[in-house]
Amino acid sequence: MSRLLQELRSKILTFEGPVVATVTPSNQTGKINCEIIGKYASRLRSIGVRGAFIHGTTGEAFTLTNAEKMSLTREWAKHSHSLLTIINVSSTSASESIEHARLCEELAVDAIAMLPHIYYRPKDESELVEYLKLIASAAPNTPLIYYHFPACTHVELNLTKFVLLALREIPSFVGMKYTSGDIIEVQRVLYQFKDSVKIFMGFEETLLPALVCGANAAICALFNLAECTKAYDVMRDVYVHDLHKALEEQKRLALKFKDLSQEGHLFINVRKALKDETNGEISAGAPRPPLSMN
């Protein structure tokens, strides 16, 4: 393992706090708007966000071409200083993921993330690890984070077995973005691999129980909003000695999640809320088909 990879692994394993799932800004003609990224990154830092997860579900990754994603990656790399920068390089094409992963290593981002293939789904843990290993080999000095989102990918494997195999077969494997409500499963992973795997929670509604289990970092769409980032920080600060206050903050996040999920997609409504909260300064524009603002 290279010294650079060791340093980045340590940076991720010791990381705590909120990582925002970024939106992908577009202009009135539907083209991506890279010009706003610098302002967007500065705004995130100002509200206490400590990292950025780019090209995730909130960023509508599967509505973008690989060229568009790589343009956005270059722009985020210019402006994300002091933010832990994680780039999701997932694609339906392994060659596109490899190309994107190589770019991420050239740009010295902190980590890349990968979903399982969303159409040709892995039949077991070994098949998943082999696929991730292929992509990771294109960026051998960049930590790899597995993006676990079974509600969307329909890939539900034994995560304890997967982590054990990934740690053995992929030198750069360092953790998971865990977007699932199954606290028992994440608890098992944390208890067995806490010192060697970082778990970033992905569901706003389960952040407090995850904290109690030892998951002290999260990647969430709601961290685009100042009140939600603050709620998570307060929760992390007080949950050990003031559970009542921590529960209040978890309730605040859960209610906001419910409010923004009642009509349409959560991440589309986050775009609207972000525009309102910044008085139009950070306007992400309209999403791409098949998504809509309706």
Residues belonging to the binding site for pyruvate are 58, 219
Token pair, residue 67, equals 């060229």
CA distance 73 to 67: 10
Q: Is 146 among the residues known to form the active site?
A: no
Contact 166, 185 (CB under 8 A): no
Contact 236, 208 (CB under 8 A): no
CA distance 109 to 221: 20
Q: In which region does residue 264 sit, left (phi positive, over 0), alpha (psi from -120 to 50) or beta (all else)?
A: left
- Between the two ends of the chain, the Cα-to-Cα distance in Å is 49
Q: Which residues are annotated as a binding site?
A: 58, 219
Residue 69 CB-density burial (10 A; 0-12 exposed, 13-18 middle, 19+ buried): buried
Within 10 angstroms of residue 119's Cβ, the number of other Cβ atoms is: 7
Contact 233, 18 (CB under 8 A): yes
CA distance 162 to 167: 9
Q: CA of 195: how far to CAs of 9, 24, 198, in Å? A: 11, 33, 8
Which of 40, 69, 146, 177 is flagged as catalytic?
177
Q: Is 177 among the residues known to form the active site?
A: yes
Catalytic residues: 147, 177
